[in-house]
Amino acid sequence: MKKYMKKQALILRAPNWIGDTIYCLPVWMRLSEHYHLHIVGKGWLKDLLSGYPEWQTYKLPAKVFERRAQYLTIKNQLQAENQLPNGINAIVFPTSFGSVFEPFLAGLHVLAHAHEGRALFLKQKVKMPNKASSIYKRYWDLGNAFFNETQPAPKSIDFKINPEVEHSIAHDYLKEHGLSQGEYIVLCPFAAGNFEGQDKKWPEFGSFANHLVKIGWPVVCCPAPNEEETWQSQYSNIPALKNLSLSEYAAVLKYAKCVVANDTGPGHLAAGVGVKTISVLNRTKFETYGAVGDHVSYVKHEPSWPSVEAVMQHVQLRLSHD
C-alpha cells in the first residue's frame, strides 16, 4: 500500500444528490485516514456533514468560471501551506462533463470515471462500469483506484450525526412533538423525478399511514419546504415535522422504530443512521440504486406498485424480528 503524509490534502467534488453523497461516506472515511478532505458540493452539504468537523466543505457556485475560481482558490491555499500532492490531488464523484472540466481548468490533477468525453481532462482514468452496477460500489472503487487496491466495499454505512443536534432531537424535540424514542414510524412519501418514465412516489402512502395508525403506531413525515405543497394536497393525514435541517432529519430517523421510504435521499439517510429501512419500489433497480445495509429491505412489484397490504405485511414482519 502507498504511504502518504498525514498533512496532505485532497479536493473532492461531491455528488449532487443526498443519496449519492451518503454512498460516498465510506470511501471518504477511507481517504480521510491519510488526507485532510476539502469537499465541494451543494449548499446542503455543510449541514449534512456537520458530524464530520475534520472535513472542510465548500458550496459550489452556480457558474462554470465561478467554480473554476473556487477550485483555484482552494488549490492556491493548499499549495501555500504545502498540503497539495503533486500527483492526483482531486477526485470527482459525479459523472457529468462539467464536474471534471471545472477542476481541470483550475490546474488540478483529477481522478474520475472516464465518461462522456471526460477522459481528456483526467490525470487518472477509471473505467466506467455498466449502467446496472451498484452506484455505491462505483464510488468505492474510485478509492480503490486511488490507492491501487481492491478492498471490498463495507456492507453498511455508518453516518455520523452532529452530536449536539442529535442530543437536542433525542432529548427535547421528540418530547415536544409527543414522540418517544423507538416508538414511532417515519414515512418518506416524497421523491424527485422518475425512473424509466415511472413516478418514484408510491401513491398509497396516505392509505398506508391510516393502517399504521389503526394498529397503534404514531407516524410522521418530514417534508422539505419545496415538498410542503405535496404534503398538504396528498398526505395531510400524516403529521408533519417541518423545517428540519438534514442533520436534524437524520436524528429523527435514527430514533424511529422503522422508516418506510420511496427511492429518495431520506431513505439512504435512514439506512446510513442504522434504523430499519423499508424501500417501496416499482421500476427502480434496488441492486443499482438501493440503500445500503443488512437492516435495509425492499418491497417491489412490477409493473404495478405494491399494495398497502403487501407493504403492511413486510413492515410487520420486520418489526416482529426485534
* Successive 10-residue mean pLDDT values, the chain, 322 residues: 63 97 98 97 98 98 95 97 95 96 97 92 95 95 97 97 98 97 96 70 93 95 94 94 97 98 94 97 90 94 89 90 69
Q: What is the pLDDT of residue 4?
A: 40
Name the CA dihedral angle for 173, 176, 182, 186, rounded to a multiple of 10 degrees: -80
Q: Is the pTM of this model over 0.85?
A: yes
Q: What is the pLDDT of residue 284?
A: 86
Amino acid, res. 90? A
Which of 193, 184, 153 lies closest to 292, judged by CA? 153
Q: What are the backbone dihedrals phi and psi of residue 221, each rounded to the nearest 5 degrees, phi first?
A: -130, 165
Q: What is the pLDDT of residue 283?
A: 84
DSSP string, 165-222: HHHHIIIIIHHHTT--TTS-EEEE----SEETTEESS-TTHHHHHHHHHHTT--EEB-
Angle at 157 between CA 270 and CA 125, to 5 degrees: 120
Domains, the chain, ordered by start: 9-147 (3.40.50.2000), 163-319 (3.40.50.2000)
Q: What is the pLDDT of residue 197?
A: 61
